[in-house]
Chain A
Amino acid sequence: DVKVTQSSRYLVKRTGEKVFLECVQDMDHENMFWYRQDPGLGLRLIYFSYDVKMKEKGDIPEGYSVSREKKERFSLILESASTNQTSMYLCASSLAGQAPYQPQHFGDGTRLSIL
């Protein structure tokens, strides 16, 4: 079974801090995604990556950056955390071949609170 592991289930940080959210997958997937999920808004794509060192902006990249130095690891960085970044963050991965027909495999999510 595919395993997508997010480093923390719950995280509390202060305004202005630099925050790192880590995601690791064990199935050699090419594609990796970071989403945030807010009540009434559903899942929104922040960034995705289709290869090592490659990244593309999603729908809401402002205030975030990402890093993919190894195929299995995709990091989301909040450069200077703000209270409006309090949210549930979900990482996912998928195979590139036949991409539209590949399911995305999700981690358990990180509930981030910025105080």
Chain B
Amino acid sequence: KNEVEQSPQNLTAQEGEFITINCSYSVGISALHWLQQHPGGGIVSLFMLSSGKKKHGRLIATINIQEKHSSLHITASHPRDSAVYICAVSPVGGGSQGNLIFGKGTKLSVKP
């Protein structure tokens, strides 16, 4: 079983819809990261969180440490949000290198 599971694997939405991507993990963590990868390959870090909730523009990330679960929400989705969204965790005891354990990603396609 993978230590970081994302759902759904693929998601198609209409422009303007509210989107939720889920991430569950089975290890103790120091922090959880949400990453975005656009077609073409480059990956950018969206959020790092270890508790509660963070918001940046139309993106909201939440984490429930007790339930070992995080969600990424996109409000008023737009075609430019089409990308692969990757959940990654910094495991406890990951050392000074900051190694991450990655989920397999959720491919989001927003249709106009």
User: A interface vs B, CB < 8 Å?
Assistant: 9, 31, 40-45, 48, 50, 56, 88, 90, 92, 94-96, 99-109, 111
Contacts and interface: CB of A to CB of B under 8 A. Distances in A.
**6 tightest Cβ-Cβ pairs between the two chains A and B:** A109-B41, A100-B30, A99-B98, A100-B90, A103-B45, A42-B104
A101 B104 contact: no
Nearest to B92: A100
B42 interface: yes
Interface of B: 29-31, 33, 35, 40-45, 48, 50, 86, 88, 90, 94-100, 102-105
19 contacts: A9-B41, A31-B96, A31-B97, A42-B86, A43-B88, A44-B102, A90-B41, A99-B90, A99-B94, A99-B97, A100-B94, A101-B90, A104-B45, A104-B98, A105-B45, A106-B42, A108-B42, A109-B41, A109-B42
B67 to A, nearest CB: 20
